[in-house]
Structure 1
């Protein structure tokens, strides 16, 4: 790992990723809190969350574009666009004109721009590090992503409490400006491209490859597994949508930031713990893990002491981090190489759609039925996933990854 950081291009890319992730976390927190403080409506926070998350469903479409663009210009341009874009919100607040519509418009545009950044950074890694360093490089990037989310979710909540969401947008704009300066001097070698490959082939083939991936998945155990991914996404993002309201009712912006930090920390801890748990049968991880997560979440929303609630939130989301990591590793291990890209695209598309749906659903349910219903409902979601893993005729027998017989599960 130390050798990686002796590479100046990798250092710039890594530092740029940290700053970019910090900016993403800050504008998400600022947007959700500002919308709720102006509207006092969970419906609008759910809508804001859905608009933040919706662009993620299009990330699989950006790969063919990123492969053909200059990575330096792509990284630099995306940061400059976001730097200017987020300034529209403080301007709207100062002029007291169209504040909520401006926030709701900026969110998806910034999100679409941002979905170009991560594939571009990932595409740069094989060009700047040695092949035997790729695992360490990706691990460093994954840790930076999760660690920064954890840190700046907490910091963002504290900053909102201290200086307010408008100043948070100004700080956010500065982070994108810093990232642009970092990327301005980066040098990434040009990717090799086959002379026989038409410039539009990747885009033109996408729909056909996606259909092939769907046909393959339908014959495997991945169908019920996708159900668990969808339930997990809906439960998690329904919660996030109503956290501004919950935070305001239980201490303010600091509580909001702490709960978001607990969510991020739990998923990060789960992802880091997954390699230590890969020898345990997957059906046990699902049934026991989600069940314990439901208990921890129920305790978290009932406990009145915020530090303890935050720890319990973290524990509740550890199983989600574990299962997400284990199941993606299972797909990578068992799906044939020539189908892996399209199968992964289908999985990310389906789970990506679940996130904005969950956010919108959480906001609507909290507005119509009540905030407590949604917060406690997450427990029901986690328990339902535990029961699903324990009762489904295929899932209840899934062994550890290394013991799976591909033929028995349709692979």
Structure 2
């Protein structure tokens, strides 16, 4: 009964800080967890298909990386505005079912020998559209089922489960790809999404129906209001600018990483999976400590810590004399440590970053605030991924990674010189209620 009371009023803190005691969040978390596990396995299969099976060029790799975010160029702000008027749970379920169907098409393409660059590009594009809808619904949906003063803990729990999947998934993915083949892996991921959709349908939450739009007001007014709120807010503005800069750097390093490891260092698929698993361990530890770090030093300084820490691994990879002749053992050790620190930094900052913006914004503008930041992030990622292909082609892998490290540094500087640096989570609820 006490959990039900909390669930019906998300402004009331639960008697225990363990958010998994809330039934609605438990279903939400379970769906996210199994999707993270399956997605990590399928992610390795996707990357190996692109680099090894299709033998894609650096430009093709960057195009496939960018296609996943193309929908944000055209639909991001629109979908975000609609999510402040639609039922978010229903959108979550529909898009998860859509992902299951789309992923089921990959085994068909493989078994009929029709998988090529263009068919895979179509799959990636469709998954990008579905991810846009799902993300646009999930972030503003979370404050409806979790008390605002537990949002950092909720995001940390989601981050922990995601990184457990990232730890186990890649190591299994690289091995299982050789053992059972890509068709079974993608069929498995399709089934996981179907189960996730069922779990999402079990969430009990009261969502108000769509409110009629005032006369003379159209969707463009809603979008503009969301952008004004985000970029005129004292602390959300520097947070948005910093994360935009971070995404530019991340688009470069994440695009170059797989081809750098598999082609430049000539590491086997199993070793690539191990490096991603090391990142999963780092991400889990980061998410595990994120609530404590945020409570101790404040949201702003926790975000700054993550933004600063992420510079180290990419700077190290840029200057380390790693080549195909280095040897698998040494290369594996260096790259695994780099991935560990990289994901540790993300684990610390992500729960504090997302929890802070979810708590500081009123529910009526959650969808638009989140979609504004997320859409600009993905637009930047799109052009950054294309830029990475050009940088790899003309400057080489090490220098491209070094450029990413420099841009990560700029993202940290934005936080360090802004009011966000001193923001604390205990200030957030006052901001919402005022």
Equivalent residue number for residue 409 of structure 1: none
Q: Which moved more, 1:36-45 or 1:189-198?
A: 189-198
Residue pairs, 1:7-406, within 5 angstroms: 8-37=23-52, 38-55=54-71, 58=75, 61-66=78-83, 73-97=90-114, 99-122=116-139, 125=142, 136-183=153-200, 186=202, 188-193=204-209, 197=213, 203-213=219-229, 216=232, 226=240, 228-249=242-263, 250-263=266-279, 265-267=281-283, 269-274=285-290, 275-276=292-293, 279=297, 282=301, 285=305, 289=309, 292-298=312-318, 302=322, 304-323=330-349, 344-382=370-408, 388=413, 395=417, 400-402=422-424
Alpha-carbon distance in 2 for matches of 1:202, 1:313:
45
Alpha-carbon distance in 2 for matches of 1:102, 1:27:
17
Deviation at 1:107, TM superposition (A): 0.9
Aligned in 2, Cα 1:26/1:209: closer, same or farther, shift over 3 Å? farther
Q: CA RMSD in A?
A: 4.4
Contact (CA 8 Å) 1:300, 1:309: kept in 2 or not?
A: no
Alpha-carbon distance in 2 for matches of 1:263, 1:323:
15
Deviation at 1:6, TM superposition (A): 5.5
Alpha-carbon distance in 2 for matches of 1:77, 1:343:
22
TM-score scaled by structure 2? 0.72
Summarize deviations over 1:30-50 as a string: whole Å, max 9, x none. 323212221341222211111
Q: Which moved more, 1:71-80 or 1:121-130?
A: 121-130
Identify unmatched segments of 5+ residues in structure 1: 406-411
Contact (CA 8 Å) 1:299, 1:309: kept in 2 or not?
A: no
Alpha-carbon distance in 1 for matches of 2:212, 2:357:
31
Q: Which moved more, 1:133-142 or 1:48-57?
A: 133-142
Aligned in 2, Cα 1:335/1:183: closer, same or farther, shift over 3 Å? closer
Alpha-carbon distance in 2 for matches of 1:269, 1:187:
28
Deviation at 1:106, TM superposition (A): 0.8
Identify unmatched segments of 5+ residues in structure 2: 1-15, 428-434
Deviation at 1:109, TM superposition (A): 0.8
Aligned in 2, Cα 1:9/1:315: closer, same or farther, shift over 3 Å? closer
TM-score scaled by structure 1? 0.75
Aligned in 2, Cα 1:226/1:158: closer, same or farther, shift over 3 Å? same
SS at match of 1:311: helix
Summarize deviations over 1:339-371 as a string: whole Å, max 9, x none. 887555433332232222222222232234333
Contact (CA 8 Å) 1:301, 1:309: kept in 2 or not?
A: no
Aligned in 2, Cα 1:372/1:402: closer, same or farther, shift over 3 Å? closer
Alpha-carbon distance in 1 for matches of 2:67, 2:59:
12
Alpha-carbon distance in 1 for matches of 2:280, 2:390:
24
Alpha-carbon distance in 1 for matches of 2:137, 2:238:
32
Aligned in 2, Cα 1:83/1:338: closer, same or farther, shift over 3 Å? closer
Summarize deviations over 1:140-174 as a string: whole Å, max 9, x none. 33433344344324433333343343332222222
Contact (CA 8 Å) 1:232, 1:320: kept in 2 or not?
A: no
SS at match of 1:87: helix
Aligned length: 399
Q: Which moved more, 1:330-339 or 1:3-12?
A: 330-339
Aligned in 2, Cα 1:279/1:50: closer, same or farther, shift over 3 Å? same
SS at match of 1:86: helix
Alpha-carbon distance in 2 for matches of 1:328, 1:135:
8
Aligned in 2, Cα 1:66/1:400: closer, same or farther, shift over 3 Å? closer
Deviation at 1:86, TM superposition (A): 1.8
Contact (CA 8 Å) 1:235, 1:358: kept in 2 or not?
A: yes
Alpha-carbon distance in 2 for matches of 1:225, 1:402:
13
Contact (CA 8 Å) 1:291, 1:383: kept in 2 or not?
A: yes
Alpha-carbon distance in 2 for matches of 1:123, 1:315:
29
Alpha-carbon distance in 2 for matches of 1:48, 1:295:
25
Alpha-carbon distance in 2 for matches of 1:5, 1:98:
41
